[in-house]
Amino acid sequence: MVDERRKLLRKYLMVYSRVFDRDDGTIIGYLSDLSHEGAMIISDDPLPQDKKIHLRFDLPDPNEFGTDHLNLDARVAWCAPDVDPSFWNFGLQFFSTDPAALKIIERMIEMYEFKREIPKYPPIPGVIDEF
């Protein structure tokens, strides 16, 4: 059995870049989160687990990245219904990623990661701080 748990923290993005199947040009969904090793896509349709797919990601700022797209090959690691039943989520595991692609991924995360800060609320009397 293959361990499908990610080893790197997922980075949720503030931009939803379109993701295409390079073989037939169809849009397969929108990039939701990204790491050096994979991504999660939000899609209208499910994809079968272990399907190998040739991807093209639209990049939000071609001037920043020096190109308008990123091509990567991946396999579908999992697929599940979204909270909204009209959508599907699927996780991708990238195959070997060249240094130029890794640089683009790193810059995407740096520029567009959704930063979640936990507010520092005053303690509530009578509540044990377990965190």
Q: Give the pLDDT score at 71.
A: 94
Please give the backbone phi and psi of residue 92, each rounded to the nearest 5 degrees, phi first. Answer: -115, 140
> Strands 18-21 and 38-43: what pairing?
unpaired
3-state class of 101 per DSSP? Answer: helix
Most confident of 3-7, 26-30, 105-109: 26-30
Q: What is the mean pLDDT of residues 97-117?
A: 77
Q: Give the pLDDT score at 72.
A: 95
Cα–Cα distance measured from residue 39 to residue 32, given in angstroms and rounded to the nearest whole number:
7
Pick from 79, 104, 107: which is nearest to 93 by CA?
79
What does the mean pLDDT of the chain come to?
Answer: 79
Summarize pLDDT for 12-49 with one digit per residue, the tens. Answer: 444 568 899 999 999 999 988 888 899 999 999 999 99
Q: Give the pLDDT score at 108.
A: 81
Q: Give the pLDDT score at 42.
A: 92
Predicted TM-score (pTM) of the model is 0.72
What architecture is domain 11-112? Beta Barrel (2.40)
The kind and range of the H/E element at 65 are helix 62-65
Alpha-carbon separation of residue 28 from 98, 104, 108, 127 (angstroms): 23, 21, 20, 47
Please give the backbone phi and psi of residue 30, each rounded to the nearest 5 degrees, phi first. Answer: -130, 140
Cα–Cα distance measured from residue 40 to residue 42, given in angstroms and rounded to the nearest whole number:
7
Q: What is the mean pLDDT of residues 79-105?
A: 91
Q: What is the mean pLDDT of residues 97-107?
A: 89
